[in-house]
Amino acid sequence: MNATAPHERAVLLMALGGPSALSEVEPYLRDLRGGRPTPRELVEEFTERYRRIGGGSPLVDVTRAQAAALERRLAAVGCPARCEVGMRHWNPHIDESVARLVDEGVTDLTGLCLTPYYSTWSVGGYLSSLRKAVEATGREVRLRTVESWGHDPSLAAAFAGKISNGLAALAERGARDPLVLFTAHSLPGIQDPTTEPYVVQLGATQKAIEARLPSIRSRFAYQSVGRREGPWLGPSAEEELERVAGAGEKVVLVVPFGFVSDNLEILYDVEIEMRERAGQRGMVFERTESLNDDPLLVEALARAVLSASDSPKGSLGDLRP
């Protein structure tokens, strides 16, 4: 194949971002809130959350590790590309990363969000920010984007492997017959969940994961409901945990498969809050490890890059191994 020269082609992995130190919590929240001042009590609340997970978010470092692994994998299949990161609400911001890449000679850019499931609220916002950043450079740049990649078999295999490890860990503790609770980030303002791509894609991926496992008993719930007013997707993980505890469940394995990287929503909302809630109800609790830079995840990312479509027309790009 005729691949674009490595210095001309790049991939931008995009994630939400997060403060790496407690001193960054307030400016991060201000960025997240579109520049609006954050009430002191909210800053204090989130500062304490980040303190409890070690003093900051590992998300940026994890994303950089994913980018490095993806760069190696693309080179191995004959499609070399420089792989960088861009954060929607923290450093390095998407627009800053795009401007730097273009200044350094990149003329072919693929944008890939590190959430596998499409929604206008999340992925749509990332891709809009990416397109604006490219336009702001005033340069000729071929832009390719990936709207969703949750269907990739390597992603399902990666999550299935983590679930198998979690079930084995429970068995070693003598905990039998666990309920497997799949979780994903809730979203606001969804009018019809039955046709919402995010909901449909989550369901399809959960089915693909379970097809790779021995028979399990499973439920699904949404976690990390935000502060925005109005309805959010449910049931919430808190409600579901209460429900299954009330029904007599004694062992639960939580699988936050809506995320691929360690972040506050996993390390605090699941690992601390949900674990404490389960313990208060006498339940044995286990959480699957995040994928982070797992080779199967990297394989899924590589395939997503290779099948990326030109933006915004949606025609299939020509990047193939």
Q: What is the pLDDT of residues 270-285, one digit of tens each?
A: 999 999 999 999 999 9
Amino acid at 262: D
pLDDT tens track for 30-55 = 999 999 999 999 999 999 999 999 99
Instruction: Choose the weakest-confidence range: 26-30, 222-226, 280-284.
Output: 222-226
| pTM confidence score | 0.92
Architecture of 6-18+57-148+294-310 per CATH?
3-Layer(aba) Sandwich (3.40)
Q: List, for residues 178-220, the tens digit of each pLDDT value.
A: 999 999 999 998 888 889 999 999 999 999 999 999 999 999 9
Residue 236 has pLDDT above 90, yes or no: yes
CA distances from 92 to 38, 97, 99, 137 (A): 21, 6, 11, 17
User: In the prediction, which pLDDT does 191 show?
Assistant: 81
Give the Cβ contact number of residue 131 at 10 Å: 16
Rounded to 10 degrees, what is the CA torsion of 182, 185, 188, 193?
A: -30
| CA atoms within 13 A of residue 104's CA, in its CB half-sphere | 13
Side chain identity at 268, as an amino acid letter?
Y
- Listed in order, the ranges of the chain carrying CATH 3.40.50.1400 are 6-18+57-148+294-310, 153-287
Q: Indicate the CATH number for domain 153-287.
A: 3.40.50.1400
- Residues recorded for the chain: 321
What are the pLDDT digits (tens) for 143-182? 999 999 999 999 999 999 999 999 999 999 999 999 999 9
pLDDT over 50 at 100, yes or no: yes
Report the run of H or E that residue 200 belongs to, with start and end: helix 197-210
Antiparallel, parallel or unpaired: β 251-255 and 179-185 = parallel
